[in-house]
Structure 1
Amino acid sequence: MNHLIISFITADRPGIVKVLSDLISEHKANWKKSSLHQMSGVFAGVIEIAVPAESATDLADKLTVLPGFKMQIEHVQQQASTPETLLVLELTANDRAGIVQEISSTIHHHGGNLLKLVSTQESAPHAGHELFKAKVTISADKNNIEPMIDALENLADDLMVDISR
């Protein structure tokens, strides 16, 4: 099986996932992982699929010409996973410019690899100011986890870090 990573953006409308999944199914491909989101009137996503070698090029060609889609497709080799520790952090702080840069720099500085970041902005209950909330998945050497957590917690007085392993 070949693996394709498909990233796309298109105007939001009903049936986008159906169009993509129909085309993927027609080529006997398997939808492995995805992250799909509606943001500011557009629908964007990243999908990993496994596709038989004989169908990969045809599927990629048909995806690139879908009307209304801006598409990027990468043919990749599936990588063996590393034996590092996986860590999921839920972060909450007062929203401010540069918060993602501070968090990602701290993770990187402590040898972590940020595997997934999902963030939102929402109004703080009873206060009215904006909160930044994020759920991040990190892989790291187990010896670097505690110093990384300490450094994240010390970024700001208002940053709360909840950990699940």
Structure 2
Amino acid sequence: MNHLIISFISPDRPGLVDTLANIISQHQGNWQTSSLHYLSGYFSGVMEIAVASEQSEQLIDKLQSIPDFKCLVETANTKATETDANIILELTANDRTGIVQEISSVIHHQGGNLLKLVSSHDSAPHSGQTLFKAKATIAVAGNSVEKLVDALESLADDLMVDISH
């Protein structure tokens, strides 16, 4: 069994997910995990598909033949092990250029591995100022969690960090 990691981008159009699901089903693939998003007229995503080794090449060929659909496919190493604790951080701050770089740099320098980042912009309720909001899943050694949170909070006075496990 192969686990294919597929990243894609396409101009948005109705039925695109149905097309993907049908192709995967036709090749006896199992849609495992995905993150799909509409972004400024485009539909993009990342998904993991489990498929029999003998079906992998045909599935990839069929995906790559979809008109105006760009995709990159990698076969995952499913033997990877997790040794760190996963924590979820919810971050809120006034939006500014470079905020993702600042946050990712702190995570890296504190020994963390950023596994997932979902970010958005919202208006602050009373001021209307643009807020940066993010939810980050991070693998980090259990004894480094407090140090990581402290380092993130020291980035700026307006950065709020909420943590869960």
Answer yes or no: is 1:151 the counterpart of 2:118: no
The offset of 1:144, in angstroms, is 1.2
Q: Is residue 120 of structure 2 the alignment partner of residue 120 of structure 1?
A: yes
Query: What residue is the counterpart of 1:87 in the other structure?
Result: 87
Instruction: Tell me if 1:16 matches 2:16.
Output: yes
Q: Superposed, which structure 2 residues align to 1:14-163 within 5 Å?
A: 14-163=14-163
Give the match's secondary structure for 1:8. strand
Normalising by structure 1, we get a TM-score of 0.97
**TM-score normalized by the length of structure 2:** 0.97
Q: How many residues in Structure 1 have an aligned counterpart in Structure 2?
A: 165
* Other structure's SS at 2:115 match: strand
2:103 is aligned with what amino acid?
I
Which amino acid in 1 is paired with 2:38? Q
Deviations 1:90-128 (A, max 9, x none): 000000000000000000001000000000011111201
Question: Share of identical aligned residues, percent?
Answer: 60
Deviation at 1:59, TM superposition (A): 0.4
Q: SS in structure 2 opposite 1:148?
A: helix
SS in 1 for 2:8: strand
CA distance in 2, matches of 1:14, 1:39: 14
Moved more, 78-87 or 89-98: 78-87
Q: Judge which range, 107-116 or 4-13, deviates more.
A: 4-13
Q: For the aligned residues, what is the CA RMSD?
A: 0.8
4+ aligned runs moved over 6 Å, structure 1:
none
Structure 2 spans left out of the alignment, 5+ residues: none
Structure 1 gaps, min length 5 = none
CA offset at residue 51 of structure 1? 0.4
Shift of 1:79: 3.2
Q: Distance in 2 between matches of 1:79 and 1:106?
A: 28
